[in-house]
Chains A and B, each alone.
Chain A
Amino acid sequence: MSSIDPITLSVIQAGLQQVCDEMDLSFSRAAFSPVIAEANDRSDGIYAAEDGALIAQGAGGLPVFVGTMQYSTRTLIEMIAAGTAPAPQPDDIYIVNDPYLGGTHLMDVRFARPFYRNGEIFCWLSNTGHWPDTGGAVPGGFSASATSVEQEGLRLPPVRLFKQGVLDPEIYAIICSNIRVADQRIGDVKAQAAALMVGEEQLNALLDRYGDDVVRTAIAELRTRAEAQMRSLIDEIPDGEYTSTAWIDSDGVVNEPLAIRLKVTKAPGHLTFDFAGSSPPCMGPMNSVLATTLSSVYLAMRHIFPQVPISAGAFEPLEVIRPTGTFLDAQYPRPVSGCAAEVSQRIAEAVFAALVEALPHRVTAAPAGTSGNFALGGHDPLTGRDFVMYQLSGGGYGGNADHDGIANGCSTIGISKAPPVEIMEQNFPVLYHRYALREGSGGAGRHRGGLGLDYELELRRGDARASFVMDHGRFGPQGALGGADGAKNEVEVWRDGHRYIPEHLSKEQDIALKAGDRVRVKTPGGGGFGPASERDPALSEEDTRLGRS
């Protein structure tokens, strides 16, 4: 292998990125379900043949997937080598959603396709798409009270859903008879597979143009350089130890808080993340699998240093000590449906809280940090049909060195848009009474936290069951450098005019509602940044005038 000049290297890097971006685009455009097509809850990338290391990943992928697919691909490669997964043939596509094999929750379904050049596997193409349902106790998969993964849905080990380009009807039939609204899923399966084919076509074009050896050399060199870039960036942090603690309200089953204890050790060009002392594995679904824990650390670092392209090289200087024996390294059969949406955000928050003092111009105070999942399922007597609606909500972002936090931002791990009230009322028997800024919810500070959301809705007809998987109900998002915490998440259910507050504050499954009952949710405000005494009086005056405080 020859050495490679930096200009060709730059162009090949852009080329690899383009392949992934085109996979992302193709997947979203052709996908049937809005979760993928509109909310972009998916990701596509290229992974090394030998160990699954991340070579390039689409820029438009959901942030939580930053690091997960390299672990699922690595596990697949190891299983093939060990003979515990079937050996690949050209044009095969494996499907896998097992959380313990390098995954997140069951709804994130991964496809992986071996990419061949001259009869040998050159690399793997893989993507993840969030399926609207994979079976289990509750529609959509976000149970607040599951106690084992079997209650969460269908779990697939890596099997070849496409064999030499042909969809295996038998495997597909098994999947379809275990998930809800199965008839719509074929649209997503076709889109997910087609995206990998787009990737194959474009990657072949790139290799034909520059030559296999040159591209192979470039990939190795890019990995080394991304590593060097990340090392130079983290050297902004003075050597030493940084600690933080972040809290999850409860696991949904046992009403006790879960602690994430983090110690970050900075040595020259190297960061170590040690979660020792965090809570043990929990009964309810707030466990995290290792791949999600690692990915959450990478995600947090990418929020801090957005300029580094996502690749295995950039992760190299970030060493995460395996948090064995804690709820951040859950083993079968621990339930995990909260890991991608909730625990991941709290891990990121622990990283922010640890590093904000060392990097005050890059890191913000804690954001709302919950996906704010409110699900309502029931029967609409007017249409004669069952329905399941989701209201995912944003909250305030943390104040930062430059500004107040933004109001009603999306989750730390997502980038998706909220549905309009008018669309919700068209599709479901609900009436919103309020959809408003939550006044006074931003944590005070030199730059205050952003405001959360305050909404209230009423069931208009029939009976329904309300479920909540939220967080930050017990502890508000942390302020930084002397700033105050943001307001806590609040859930109120009004039944027959009586107020009911869930025992776990932010989590509960299947609260029965009938027509006229109401639900009110106030999402968290962001943490404040710096002491409130240093706030510009003009900003305080504006907050008062505009009713924000």
Chain B
Amino acid sequence: MEHSETRGSIIGVDVGGTFTDLVMVDSASGTMRIAKTPTTLDNQAFGVLAALEQAEVDLGEVGLIVHGTTTTTNAVLERKLSRTGLITTAGFRDVLELGRRTRPQAYGMKGQFTPIIPRDLRLEVPERMDAQGNVLIPLDEDALRAAIRQLVDAGCEALVIHFLHAYANPAHELRAAEIAAELWPNSYITTGHSLLSESREFERGVTAAVNASVQPLLERYVARLRDELAAKGYRGDVLVMNGNGGMVSSKLVAREAAKTVMSGPASGVMAAAYTGRRASEPNLLTYDMGGTSTDVALIRDGTPPVSNEIEVEYAMPIHVPMVDVRTVGAGGGSIARVNAAGLLEVGPESAGADPGPICYGKGGTRPTISDANMLLGRLNTAKLNAVAGGVGMEELAAIFARELGAPLGVDAHGAADAVIRMANAKMAGAIRMVSLSLGADPRDFALFAFGGAGPLHAAALARELGVPRVLVPARPGITNALGCAVADLRHDFVQTLNQPLDDLDIPALHAAFAGQLAEGQAALARENITVTRVEHHFSADMQFLGQSHVVRVPLADATPTAETLRSRFNEVYWQRFKVALPEIRARIVNVNCSVIGVCAPVDLSRLIDAAGRQAHATPTGHRQVYFDGSPHDTPIYWRDHLPADVTLEGPAIIEQLDCTTLIPPGDRVQGGVDGNLMIHIGAAE
């Protein structure tokens, strides 16, 4: 294999809410290029092509393009879905609308919920399995045909077939799909058990319904993108990022389109894990702060955690394996206000991207976190002045003094400082909650800061959390695109067994694992992408009898004994909850398998061009930056010019095209591998 050491030229391109980012790595020539263009919402392909143009890529020379897209995410959140029909077990068509009996907020009896498929497109047919998979009522095939025709006539483009207990026995779903294939005008047919062979009819049904209703959109989008790229000379396949942090061929991706819904945040975490492994920092808390939201994930031993239980929004669970990324609050656009009790609040209200913070100059009038950073000198005021018709510093200061300073009894800078303190305290609290809920003490991790605003707040947050180090990667603003470029091929499988450990059918368990493995290997073979090796990971979801929550237990191989399962479960349960319950019997709920085609490593050492670096760190200028209420004369550095092994003590500001890194007084920053910066909290002399 000629690609055994490198991947040749590879492009990662990620479409975010505001920007489309691209990174190209050509290991043969050693070049690395990046590009950033505005996202084109109506057809994301235009933004992708613009980014390729900006990076001056010769598509004929490119080996592989890996693409992260928000096509399906946006479709779900805005309910701009393909018209989709559901056929389900008689008596249960409302499951998708009834949900699991909650309300959107704990307090306040209002709220709304729009089911993913409207009631008139949800039809029932006689059929029934019991929980053991026995047929109680045979599938009424005539009723099924009539229902299918009714949905075709209603103009449905996609079809969901979702029967109760199909995870235990999929025979009726399989037969119904067979009949539907004869009558349905296209191949957009999703059966409930095929994405997720797990009990819980609401979660499985929503997952299938989301899949079906984004499938046509995603397939059309990737087909159009492939055509556009081919027209410009690209000869390879386009791979698409999934929410599990792995990539999948664009020819297969629409089959399981639901898996792409949370892919953006996942690719950032994959890049963090990859960067961390190369920098010998395997345990990371990733902190991605953007303009409208902040995402957090926990990486242990270089491996991002994967969860099957992500909720995309209220009552919208998508139960397929996805990187466990938690949105902990708003971003730079969070609005600060003084409430009726005279106390300062930051968020949850946000100025969003439009009008955005006051300093964007797009008509925002309410003070935000970004404005506070601007006022404290932490962001480059040249950007502020560049906005035509925007506001000046004096005006910004006047708004802070009036809206916040007066009721709090401080001046404009005091108010801005308070906003940052409050924001950091709340974000630190939210990060602690994520970390604790995953059974981890944040102090055992390094903070990995990225996104437009991450490196601006990271050092202060780390101090608040007791985290000793902050890793700021070479290109914090294109981390998601980098995640695409370093991704591996990945296929995940979940199957419900639901048996007490004492009566476990061990051969059936081994057969389940073997089946999952074979399916994954077959998928890799169909993708036909060169991989250096294939990894398999097996795990079991287990619980004590009487419980309803499960714990994921990683296993060394596909042929565990009952004794191994018991002892591994006890170990993992103890690690997570610090409780041992030897008196109570255990149950195995699901078996899971991940099949990963590991691609050749990508060299990140040229993310910042060595040729541009200078022998000594020389400030490009100085400005007054406020820390803890008082101004400090602070040197400003241009990151690309810093020596690779630089050491600086705070206060300092390091600027680059897409990001500003803040080193507060008392902290020290050092250059590391791959152009990373490592901030050591409290390490300054």
Contact = CB atoms under 8 A, between A and B. Distances in A.
Nearest to A13: B343
A229 B341 contact: yes
A9 B343 contact: yes
A436 interface: yes
Nearest to B100: A417
Contact of B97 (A33, A302, A407): A407
B425 A15 contact: yes
Contact of A420 (B201, B498, B549, B583): B201
B334 to A, nearest CB: 14
B149 interface: no
Interface in B416-433: 418, 421-422, 425-426, 429, 432-433
A435 to B, nearest CB: 6
Interface string A8-48: 01110111011001100110011011100110000000000
B390 to A, nearest CB: 28
A364 B107 CA distance: 13
A76 B469 CA distance: 46
A400 interface: yes
Nearest to A393: B101
A149 interface: no
Contacts of B603: none
A217 B227 CA distance: 68
Chain B's interface size range is 35 or more
Contacts of B410: 5, 7
B616 to A, nearest CB: 39
Interface in B606-635: none
A225 B583 contact: no
If over half of B's interface residues share one DSSP class (helix, strand or loop), that class is named, otherwise mixed; here it is loop
B119 A548 contact: yes
B101 A29 contact: no
A228 B341 contact: yes
Nearest to B92: A435
Interface in B568-589: 576-579, 581, 583-584
Given A303-B108, A408-B98, A431-B136, A32 B437 contact: no
B544 A409 contact: no
Given A302-B107, A422-B164, A26 B436 contact: yes
A30 B548 contact: no
Interface in A409-430: 409-410, 412, 415-423, 425-426
Contacts of B491: none
B138 interface: no
B98 A407 contact: yes
B531 interface: no
Chain A's interface size range is 35 or more
A475 interface: no
Nearest to A62: B106
A4 to B, nearest CB: 11
Contacts of A415: 102-103, 106
A117 interface: no
B97 A417 contact: no
B609 to A, nearest CB: 43
A92 B205 CA distance: 49
B408 interface: yes
Contacts of A10: 343-345, 418, 422
Contacts of B672: none
A437 B283 CA distance: 47
B274 interface: no
A546 B110 CA distance: 22
Interface in A161-198: 181, 183-184, 186-187, 190-191, 194
Contacts of A426: 131, 199, 498
17 contacts: A7-B422, A10-B345, A15-B425, A17-B429, A30-B577, A60-B106, A190-B579, A232-B340, A403-B110, A409-B101, A416-B101, A418-B101, A422-B131, A423-B548, A434-B91, A436-B92, A546-B119
Interface of A: 5-7, 9-11, 13-15, 17-18, 21-22, 25-26, 29-30, 32-34, 37-38, 59-60, 63, 181, 183-184, 186-187, 190-191, 194, 222, 225-226, 228-229, 232-233, 302-303, 306-307, 352, 364, 367, 392-394, 397-398, 400, 402-403, 406-410, 412, 415-423, 425-426, 431-437, 453, 456, 545-548
Minimum-distance CB pairs A-B, first 5:
A394-B101, A418-B101, A306-B107, A229-B341, A225-B341
